[in-house]
């Protein structure tokens, strides 16, 4: 019997469209001999849809039409089974799934939100768990954890918007001690949204005003000069990790903008997702530095307790040869398949390995004790005749 894989994508995030591209790529690459693929699309309206037509990219050019032909559903558990139930009209089960492949990017989905829901209903899923996913989204938490494990990050500070409003002077003083130029970032966004570079106090005030529009938590970090950006993907779990070849990414702009990342260069041929960014693969680094980054990537993966495939992005000062971990993506654009293809692992095989890791993790988790079969409240009669005193 084929394993029924529900591919969940979309969601209320700035990276909604990118997620659609990544998911369609994955659905086209999953082995149809082994898997029954069930697309589950979360619209920006937070409604969930399914239907065969959701496997094709063309349908997403007209979302109203798509919604007309797709079925509005909910995913829940019914005993040991995971069912997709039609939401409108007669509520009936229209499909079953065994496992979820989340292909979502960004806030309200990738950040542990979706993983939390999947944990709640108890369905096995591919990739990092909710703890790891949420740390993956919060650039401040991530830096704090990496720093405490003595892994290299840029000099930084952070604050809440309210702290800035109440004590602007103090915040600016602390930023000054990091040293200009700095990057100002909303702590929990992605795709370079709300990020700017500031060379002095006037610019930093402007940059903070911009970042505050998107998040209440703001990160300010030292700019890495003579910048080379490289990314490395890691596949595995807490026991075993494998690092991919490195890519060198190039931004036409001062830094990688949303357009560079997801829209590629070619507006005419349409978006190809992360697989079309301007890149050099493998990165032009000597073998010593390449290996150093691969080893570092495995450590980062483990420290963050990641699982499945993640991508770790680095900033390198090519003069001083210093390496800094910039950020991690627990569900990277295009699931980093192009990095694995360059590592002699075809996409189909990568997806197989990711699914196998998820099944292994699920079985392992099932063996741990989470709750007790007996209901400890069954002997509880403390409220009767005791005026609310607990009698256990």
Ligand X SMILES: Nc1ncnc2c1ncn2[C@@H]1O[C@H](COP(=O)(O)OP(=O)(O)O)[C@@H](O)[C@H]1O
Q: Which of residues 179-198 bind ligand X (CB under 6 A)?
A: 183, 185, 190-192, 195
Q: Please state the closest distance from residue 277 (CB atom) to ligand X, in A.
A: 10
Residue position matching structure tokens 């700035």: 14
Q: Please state the closest distance from residue 367 (CB atom) to ligand X, in A.
A: 36
Q: Please state the closest distance from residue 221 (CB atom) to ligand X, in A.
A: 5
Nearest residue (CB) to ligand X, 40 versus 183: 183
Nearest residue (CB) to ligand X, 310 versus 315: 315
Question: Who's near 320: CB < 8 A, 6+ residues apart?
Answer: 226
Q: Please state the closest distance from residue 193 (CB atom) to ligand X, in A.
A: 6
Cis preceding linkage at 181, omega within 30: yes
Nearest residue (CB) to ligand X, 166 versus 253: 253
| DSSP code of residue 303 | H
Neighbouring C-beta atoms of residue 53, cutoff 10 Å: 14
Nearest residue (CB) to ligand X, 50 versus 326: 326
3-class secondary structure, 165: helix
Window 130-169: contact mask with ligand X (x via CB under 6 A): ------------------------x---------------
Q: Please state the closest distance from residue 18 (CB atom) to ligand X, in A.
A: 12
Q: Please state the closest distance from residue 181 (CB atom) to ligand X, in A.
A: 8
Q: Which of 110, 221, 245, 247 binds ligand X (CB under 6 A)?
A: 221
* Contact of 313 with 229, CB cutoff 8 Å: yes
Q: Which of 21, 256, 283, 309 binds ligand X (CB under 6 A)?
A: 256
Nearest residue to ligand X on Cβ basis:
255
Q: Please state the closest distance from residue 190 (CB atom) to ligand X, in A.
A: 4
Nearest residue (CB) to ligand X, 223 versus 306: 223
The site that binds ligand X (CB under 6 A) totals a number of residues, namely 19
Cis preceding linkage at 278, omega within 30: no
Which listed range, 61-69, 117-125, 223-231, 237-245, lies at the site for ligand X (CB under 6 A)? 223-231
* Phi, psi values for residue 35, rounded to 5°: -125, 140
Identify the sign of the CA torsion 62, 107, 235, 287.
positive
| DSSP code of residue 338 | H
* Phi-psi domain of 335 (left: phi exceeds 0; alpha: psi -120 through 50; beta: other): left
H helices of the chain, in order, are 16-29, 63-69, 113-121, 130-137, 139-148, 161-166, 168-178, 201-212, 258, 287-303, 337-341, 347-367
* Contact of 100 with 8, CB cutoff 8 Å: yes
Distance of CA 214 to the CA centre of its chain: 18
Window 325-364: contact mask with ligand X (x via CB under 6 A): -xx-------------------------------------
Q: Which of 97, 126, 204, 224 binds ligand X (CB under 6 A)?
A: 224
CA distance 147 to 38: 40
Q: Is 95 in the site for ligand X (CB under 6 A)?
A: no
CA distance 277 to 271: 10
Nearest residue (CB) to ligand X, 82 versus 188: 188
Q: Which of residues 285-304 bind ligand X (CB under 6 A)?
A: none
Bridge-based pairing state of the strands 93-97 and 99-103: unpaired
Distance of CA 22 to the CA centre of its chain: 12
Residue position matching structure tokens 């830094």: 255
DSSP 115-136: HHHHHHHT--BSS--HHHHHHH
Q: Please state the closest distance from residue 328 (CB atom) to ligand X, in A.
A: 10
Nearest residue (CB) to ligand X, 227 versus 342: 227
Nearest residue (CB) to ligand X, 37 versus 261: 261
Q: Which of residues 226-255 bind ligand X (CB under 6 A)?
A: 227, 229, 251, 255
Report the interface residues with ligand X, using CB under 6 A: 154, 183, 185, 190-192, 195, 221, 223-224, 227, 229, 251, 255-256, 313, 315, 326-327
């Amino acid at each position: 019997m084929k394993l029924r894989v529900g591919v969940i994508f979309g969601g209320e995030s700035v990276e909604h469209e990118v997620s659609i591209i990544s998911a369609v790529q994955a659905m086209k690459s999953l082995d149809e001999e082994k898997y029954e693929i069930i697309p589950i699309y979360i619209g920006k309206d937070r409604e969930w849809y399914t239907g065969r037509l959701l496997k094709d990219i063309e349908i997403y050019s007209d979302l109203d039409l798509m919604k007309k032909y797709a079925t509005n559903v909910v995913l829940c558990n019914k005993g040991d089974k995971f069912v997709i139930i039609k939401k409108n009209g007669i509520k009936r089960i229209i499909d079953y799934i065994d496992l979820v492949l989340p292909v979502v990017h960004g806030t309200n989905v990738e950040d542990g939100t979706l993983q939390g829901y999947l944990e709640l209903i108890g369905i096995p899923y591919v990739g990092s768990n909710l703890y790891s996913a949420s740390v993956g989204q919060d650039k401040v938490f991530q830096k704090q954890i990496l720093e405490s494990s003595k892994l290299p990050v840029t000099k930084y500070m952070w604050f809440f918007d309210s702290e800035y409003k109440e004590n602007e002077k103090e915040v600016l003083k602390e930023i000054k001690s990091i040293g200009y130029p700095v990057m100002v970032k909303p702590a929990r966004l992605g795709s370079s949204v709300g990020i700017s570079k500031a060379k002095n106090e006037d610019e930093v005030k402007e940059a903070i005003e911009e970042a505050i529009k998107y998040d209440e938590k703001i990160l300010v970090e030292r700019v890495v000069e003579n910048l080379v950006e490289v990314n490395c993907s890691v596949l595995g779990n807490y026991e075993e990790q494998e690092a991919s070849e490195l890519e060198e990414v190039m931004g036409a702009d001062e830094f990688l903008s949303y357009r560079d990342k997801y829209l590629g260069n070619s507006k005419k041929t349409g978006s190809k997702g992360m697989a079309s960014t301007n890149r050099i693969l493998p990165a032009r680094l000597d073998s010593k530095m390449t290996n150093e980054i691969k080893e570092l990537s495995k450590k980062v993966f483990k420290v963050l307790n990641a699982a499945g495939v993640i991508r770790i992005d680095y900033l390198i000062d090519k003069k001083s040869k210093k390496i800094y971990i910039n950020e991690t993506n627990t569900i990277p654009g295009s699931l980093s398949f192009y990095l694995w293809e360059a590592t002699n692992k075809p996409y189909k095989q990568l997806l197989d390995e990711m699914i196998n890791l998820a099944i292994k993790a699920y079985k392992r988790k099932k063996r741990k004790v989470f709750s007790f079969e007996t209901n400890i409240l069954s002997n509880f009669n403390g409220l009767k005749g005791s005026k609310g005193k607990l009698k256990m």
